[in-house]
Structure 1
Amino acid sequence: MEDKETPLYMRDFKIPLISYGPNVPYPSFWYKIISSFSPKQFALFALFTIIFLASATGIMRKIGDAHLVVVPLMAGELREGVIGAPRFINPLLAVSQADRDLSQLIYAGLMKPSANGGFEGELAESIHVSDDGLTYIFTLRRGLKWHDGKDLTADDVVFTVNKAQDPSLKSPKRASFEGVLATAKDTYTVQFVLSQPFASFMENTTMGILPRHLWADIASDVFPFSLLNSGAVGSGPYMIERIVNDKRGIPLYFDLEPFQDYALGSPYIKRIKIRFYPGSEELLNAYEKGEIESVAALSGGTVSELRKDGAHAVGAPLPRIFGVFWNQNQAEIFRDKAVREALDLSASRSFIVETVLSGYGVPIDGPIPPGSLGEPTKEELLSISESSLRNKERAIELLESAGWKQNEEDNVRYNKGRKLSFTLSTADTPELKDAAMLLKTGWDSIGAEVTLKIYELGDLNQNVIRPRKYEALFFGTVVGREPDLFAFWHSSQRNDPGLNISMYTNSKVDKMLEGARRTIVRSEREDLMREIATTIKSDSPATFVYSPLFLYILPEKVKGVDLGAITTTGDRFSTVSKWHIETERVWRYFLDK
């Protein structure tokens, strides 16, 4: 039956039937009131109702924004590519990028680099340093665990340091702990007593700690051959989920999963897959095919090309120098200082930075990079950019006056039967190969005969650098946040595992290097560092070429990345436990709980 009392515009308007309980009358009077509205009144009522609901929604949203916070979720996967297969996933033996990257992810140190360029506790909860700078006392966090569930204690720390000091192990970390006595005062307390103050000691405590219960029965001479160097067990943010090898037993990739008991809290990215490639060409092909989505330590030119195709790149200062190190034991011509100085003058530093690095670097001519203690002045850096033609002319004059005459038949210089000829060894990466080619071109133009020898990075480290089997080596060295040049230039570090790859010897520099380690006052240490750099530069044991920026291709989906100051490529993972891909909004109340 037609309802003639209800206005036409109200006939489809229904009030929901709501149960108010048995003793509460149904509010039918609201329906009668609304039914009595004229069309104009009803339209106004509807408008005001919409405005009210919209305002209420906005207010509720503001209240939600004030009390809801965005938090990371444990989710997502990051696929990263690295050149070279790992051999020593061991903080005492790691040399290659693959070794260092995996060691950074799998192991934890007492301290770790912070995003602001300093250090913060990782396994250590607190630290006390004596006024004389000789005693460091670290207190460990309670409840620390290894990836296999065993307890981590002060005994593990002492064991690791003692192993690093063992001369038969030949650890690259040995020089960092010379003259240091490590003692476990109790389960959670480690004391280091230094024989003399060491201004850079805090950086040494970022070294990853080994599990004593797994390594204690392995003799130092078989340490490098242990399966634990591949199936590593640490206490870092990520642990090995699985390893996939090829038919020859060489790792293709590692799948890493979050360590739930990590000292600083379980990481958020659910899986990190590290894939290994023999060279840069294979690495970049894998990136272009989408097999991997992040790549580190690329050349500036490569990054510039990838960015044109939409790649997302981040960068950070890198306290690292690249140069050519002269091995006078393998090539007698380098004993002639005129040869070393002429080669230094004709090195095309600025051109290399602009073309090979696409400007992502700084030309240098000394052992300390910009941004480090004792860095070159602006005037000194500016002088490096002198005309390459002028430097070439000076180099030729220097060789001529030293008796090196150019042969018209082969355009190579000779001096008393000696030929100005040598091999230049470097790694199979685009940046190093391209820069080495430009160095060769410049040196050929002044009458030198240079032959390039290119090696896979792991092969270069293991079979060329460590046994010092090269005439000239184009390579990079990391001087650290608070540069300690001892391992690179002290005469005691000429042989492996020392890093004095020029086999440089100068008793005056030795004393200054030892003094710089003992000097706690920063201004005094800076003066010493400058004097050391000036003396080394004057002796020309190497041709310093450039200091690069650290460049990292990383997908934009990864948030929370703060690289800070990078010392080694592995340092990019210093804050990996905070990286995340997915988030959710939760009430602040539940976080407080």
Structure 2
Amino acid sequence: MRIVYFTITVLAGLVMMLPAQLPLQPAESFGDRLIIGEVGEPPAYLNPFKVNSILEKQLTRLIYGTGLIQGVDRFGQPPILVDRFIQPASRDVGYIWHYSILRNIYFHSGIPMRNRDVKFTFDYLRENSGHLLNRTFDFSNVDSLSISGDLEFTFLLKEKDNFFDQDLSNIPILSEAHYRDLKDLDEGIFQDIHPMGYGPFMFESRTLKSISLVPHPNYAFGIPFLERIIYRFYDNEQEMLDDFMRGNLDLIEIKESETARRMHQVLKNQIKIFPAPRPEKKVYFILFNINGFPFDNVRVRSAIRGSINQNEIVNGLVERNSHIAYSVIDYTHPLFFRDIIEDSYEPNVSLGNLKNDGWINNSPRGILEKDGRSLSFELLFEENSHLEESIARGIKIHLAELGINVQPRPVSLQNKKRLVKGNNYQAVLQNYSYYDEDLYNVIKEFYFKVLKNKGGATNYVNPLIERLFAQGDAQPNLRKKIISRFQIFLYQNAPAIFLYFDDEIIYAVDSRFQNMRVSYSSEKVYYYRLMPFENWFVPKNLQKYPAP
């Protein structure tokens, strides 16, 4: 994986300095606000047990709180609720998981968290489904959950699982008193009542273009310094970038390095720009509508895949923070089916295959034709996205060399979602984010949600793949083989063409904020993560929105 990190240079030697010469560290101060830019629409409501996006995951963490155990996240140094793990007898290791939670955890209502809240939460999840992106909450292996005193609780498993603690990560605990009707109302309760958890910030308000959060006054790990966090939502990336340049936003993510360089040239020391490794996988791809011309023909789809120079896209357009994708599964993963890498870019072979299929070049414009129809299609991309426009135009150039006419068409993010849901498109640039701890559920979600278009007009359907998933659901020991078979089907049928994995997040932050990132090292490489927002502060003399 090719990832760019900021390195920290170690200075040799000792420098003697008088105390008066030591640089003063900014004093931690309460006040000011953090305004974050996002493209899209705010979620209508938050269900902490059905998290569908990275944004929903961040909001869930801020409001509902972290889980008993916190998994890998975009934020460093996350707090955990578990005070101690009580080691069982050797014969019970992997069967009995005995924990005690911290005593000083308070919900936003002021009620302290107790083990009955833990039991209430996981008893619900044992009977109902839940998910975090592609990760499914499955507690069918739990035989019982008992509590003792007011802090201790014990999971007893049906079958031994030495990694059960990972299943508990990133699942917030609900207040039994506040959500007592959860079992009766199910998901509807999250739409009907005020969201309430134990996270560092409390829900204040939501509009069509913003979400506002205020500090939790009884937050167990220290009252947040910031007096408010506001998420602002924009129709497209350019509107968000413009507002950041005008000083109306404090934190955004930038999709590619060239935009970051241009911003830094203008704003200079007013902002800090730095990359951080992406904890989730994010793959960019072209999705075809296989229900109509020309992509109802698998030979056309395969020929286009063999005619796009992925290396040129990665090296020339998205630069160093990415690497080539050959499938929805990263080629660095041991379960990647490596045979599909062979002969991935062969435009001459692709052109020959198209001619064998009856496509000929008789057009004055040099466009391939068959049965009086030109090999021409629209490629949708997000409007005002410099990255997606560059990719779309690069693909147009690649395919023009074969006589395939690509017509890049910019559409708003919301319009793109609507067109995809209704299958009212020919081809579209898309991306998909997931955590790769459970690849079986990754490919299953990708098939049903993305390729088949669950909840919308049906697109790609493969009964053989669905039969494999039925077998995998019933026999987990078959799942590794099913992952390989799925990749083979994707390669043979080509309902989508995979372009690259985005390895990094590029952050742009107003420079008045302090304590907003933490450095890590791994294999002699240094990199950053965001510090949790509750630890960010602005010195009094730099505060932009002082308290009234």
TM-score (norm 2): 0.71
Q: Judging changes above 3 Å, is the alpha-carbon distance between structure 1 residues 515 and 164 closer, same or farther for their aligned structure 2 residues?
A: closer
Corresponding residue to 2:327 among 366, 387, 392: 366
**CA–CA distance in 1 between the matches of 2:94 and 2:495?**
33
Which is worse superposed, 309-318 or 572-581? Answer: 572-581
Shift of 1:290: 0.6
- Are the equivalent residues in 1 in contact too, given 2:41–2:233 (CA < 8 A)? yes
> Within 2, Cα distance between the matches of 1:210 and 1:575?
21
Tell me what 1:158 maps to. 122
CA distance in 1, matches of 2:467, 2:491: 14
Structure 1 residue 324 and structure 2 residue 286: aligned? yes
In structure 2, the residue corresponding to 1:324 is in which secondary structure?
A: strand
Could you list the per-position Cα deviations for residues 83-121 of structure 1 after superposition, in whole angstroms to 9, with x for gaps in the alignment? 123123333444455544423322222332357999976
- Pair member with larger Rg: 1
Q: Find the aligned partners of 1:423 and 1:431 in 2 and give their Cα distance.
A: 18
CA distance in 2, matches of 1:516, 1:314: 45
Q: Is the 8 A contact 2:515 2:531 kept in 1?
A: no
SS at match of 1:562: strand
Q: Where in structure 1 are there 5+ consecutive unaligned residues? A: 1-57, 566-570, 584-593
How far does the alpha carbon of each residue in 1:20-71 deviate from its partner, in whole angstroms, 9 at most, with x for none? xxxxxxxxxxxxxxxxxxxxxxxxxxxxxxxxxxxxxx98x49x99xx9998
**When the two structures are superposed, what TM-score results if normalisation uses the length of structure 1?**
0.66
Partner of residue 507, structure 2: 552
Q: Distance in 2 between matches of 1:210 and 1:453?
A: 45
**In the alignment, which residue of structure 1 is the partner of 2:202?**
239
How far has the Cα of 1:158 moved from its partner?
A: 2.3
How many residues get paired? Answer: 492
1:540 maps to what in 2? 494
Aligned partner letter, 1:161: L
Q: CA deviation at 1:173?
A: 5.5
Q: 1:286 to 1:106 in 2, by over 3 A?
A: same
> Is the Cα–Cα contact under 8 Å of residues 39 and 234 in structure 2 kept in the other structure?
yes
Alpha-carbon distance change, 360 to 344 in structure 1, aligned in 2, over 3 angstroms = same
1:430 to 382, 386, 390: 386
Instruction: Say which of 197, 202, 208 aligns to 2:166.
Output: 202
Paired with 1:342 and 1:284, the residues of 2 have a C-alpha distance of 37
Shift in Å at residue 80 of structure 1? 1.9
Distance 2:475 2:77 in 1: 21
1:313 paired residue number = 273
Q: Which one of the candidate residues 62, 72, 94 is aligned to 1:105?
A: 62
Give the number of the structure whose residues are more often helix, by fraction: 1
The verdict on how the C-alpha distance between 1:512 and 1:123 changes in structure 2, with shifts beyond 3 A counting, is farther
User: What is the rounded CA distance, in whole Å, between the counterparts of 1:196 and 1:495 in structure 2?
Assistant: 37
- C-alpha separation in 1, matches of 2:160 and 2:425: 35
1:85 equivalent among 35, 38, 41: 41
- Structure 2 unaligned runs (5+)? 1-16, 522-527, 541-548
Q: Which amino acid aligns with 1:552?
A: Y
Do the aligned partners of 1:353 and 1:361 also contact (CA within 8 Å) in 2? yes
For residues 221 and 331 of structure 1, what CA distance do their matches in structure 2 show? 40
Aligned in 2, Cα 1:367/1:243: closer, same or farther, shift over 3 Å?
same
What is the match of residue 341 of structure 1? 302
Map 1:334-483 to 2 at 5 A.
334-369=295-330, 372=333, 374=335, 391-408=346-363, 411-415=366-370, 420-428=375-383, 429-452=385-408, 454-458=410-414, 460-461=416-417, 463-464=418-419, 471-482=426-437
CA distance in 2, matches of 1:376, 1:307: 41
1:289 Cα offset (Å): 0.7
Alignment of 1:238-317 (within 5 A): 238-240=201-203, 242-243=204-205, 245=207, 250-251=208-209, 253-309=210-266, 310=268, 311-317=271-277
Per the alignment, residue 486 of structure 1 pairs with 441
Matching residue of 2:188: 223
In structure 2, the residue matched to 1:16 is: none
DSSP-derived class of the 2:510 partner: coil
Q: Say what the alpha-carbon RMSD is for the aligned residues.
A: 4.9
Q: Deviations over 1:496-544 (max 9, x none)?
A: 379x98656536964897699769xxxx97x996776566445533211
